[in-house]
Structure 1
Amino acid sequence: MSEAVPLPAGTTLGKSFEYGIDINLGTSAVPEWQPFRRISGFQPTFTPTTQDAQTYDDLGADNSDVTGWSFAIAFNVQVNRNTATGLYLPEIEALLARTRPSAKGEAAVVEVRWYHKPEIGTPNPADAGQGRATVAITRQNTGPNGEIEVLSVTLSGKGPYTEIANPFDGWDSTVAVIGTVGPEGAGDGDLVTITGTGFLGTTGVSIDGASLAATDYTVVSGATIIAALPAGDAGNVPVIVTNAAGASAPHTFTRGA
């Protein structure tokens, strides 16, 4: 008989490959998240910044306060290119653009997000982050025997990262389905709650044909989005949520002015 302590029912052991990372090819206001394809060796590092708080009361023992957190991310990525244009995949091109001699200041910064991406089951909703970083790249395979071209990438964070809702909606992602939008009668600038399914991985929200900036909506969970109403006339308007699988069917919402 096994002496191992039993695990709760429904528990599964995590795998080393169950993470993903995306790069923003758009802007912070209107992001265009592109997953890095063919990665391995994903390794995030979170390092505390500490200050000495030692006093006589510590009787000679160390006493440090954490005053901030830095982050860095390392991973390897295979280099695929278009044989017609010669260009690498857009996520690779975006990294290389930040390492050219002309890349200084903000031109040397990328915005990335990373997240739990399990093979089976529901992704951890809180195991995800987003931040800005500078880029360092080295070639991994340099031998003469025709090895696969692989880049080793190191991202050094600029400031702390932001905790975000996990954007991964599962391998069998489907378009979002909107159930309700409320409260009815909400007007310009008011917050409305959108409920439904398939909201993890949302890439856009539109109300009456107006695409909201990323700062004007928050994906709370796979079932809830909070959005600020853009300026518009009172009446029935369509609300659409878009994710990686496509756009939801329009949901009619009665808004105020």
Structure 2
Amino acid sequence: MSTPTEETELAREWRLEINMGTDEAPDWQLCPGVREFQPASEPNIEDASDYDSDGWASNEKTAQAWELSVTIRRKANKDTKIYSPVHEAIRLAHFAYGSSNKVHLRYMNRNGLPEAYMGRAIPNWQPAGGEYTALGEVEITFTGDGPLTPITNPLA
């Protein structure tokens, strides 16, 4: 009987997709050019200690927030003068208000492993700038609006 081979996961395991359709007819499209990807999900923990615990502290999770920091490398079609439609949807949402300011996104392990999540977020679009030799990059922080829900990996 052979022993299964285990491999170390790489940071580039993540795939980010944006819903370019509607809730009723989703159109999930790849966000191309991802260079850095940093998900975060922080619980709010409150002290729930009382005299009855013999001096041991108690804690309760009372809320949760999530955020996704992504750096993308932008590319443009110089002939047609267009950027990636996904990049443009994120950029324009940054300048909008209300429901137009929310991006419906999902991210998952690109190798089909079980880790995958979906939620709505407000994007903060910040071009990185740099020296004359630098490539065009944008730092995007997606601040969660509502739950980040574990989902079945669509690539599984």
What TM-score do you get using the length of structure 1 for normalisation? 0.56
User: Is 1:136 matched with 2:129?
Assistant: no
Q: Relative contact order: is structure 1 or structure 2 higher (C-alpha 8 Å, sep ≥ 6)?
A: 2
Alignment partner of 1:44 out of 39, 45, 49: 39
Preserved contact between residue 68 and residue 160 of structure 1 (Cα < 8 Å): no
**Residues 164-175 of structure 1: pairs in structure 2 closer than 5 A:** 164-168=151-155
Alignment partner of 2:84 out of 64, 79, 89: 89
2:11 aligned residue: 16
2:140 aligned residue: 153
Q: Which moved more, 1:89-98 or 1:51-60?
A: 51-60
1:73 CA drift (Å):
0.4
2:113 aligned residue: 124
Q: Could you say what the CA RMSD is over the residues aligned between the two structures, in angstroms?
A: 1.6
1:78 aligned residue: 73
> How far apart in 1 are the matches of 2:9 and 2:109?
10
1:106 aligned residue: 99
Q: Which runs of 5+ in 2 are unaligned?
A: none
1:31 aligned residue: 26
- 1:42-67 Cα shifts (integer Å, max 9, x gaps): 11001112333111123444322113
* Moved >3 Å (runs of 4+): 58-62
SS in 2 for 1:9: coil
Q: Which has the larger radius of gyration?
A: 1
**Residues 242-257 of structure 1: pairs in structure 2 closer than 5 A:** none
SS in 1 for 2:12: coil
- What amino acid is the match of 2:113? N
Preserved contact between residue 20 and residue 35 of structure 1 (Cα < 8 Å): yes
Q: Which runs of 5+ in 1 are unaligned?
A: 1-7, 169-199, 201-257
- State the aligned residue count: 154
Q: Greater helix share, 1 or 2?
A: 2
> How far apart in 1 are the matches of 2:149 and 2:24?
15
> How far apart in 2 are the matches of 1:39 and 1:166?
19
SS in 1 for 2:77: coil
**Residues 234-249 of structure 1: pairs in structure 2 closer than 5 A:** none
> How far apart in 1 are the matches of 2:55 and 2:129?
50
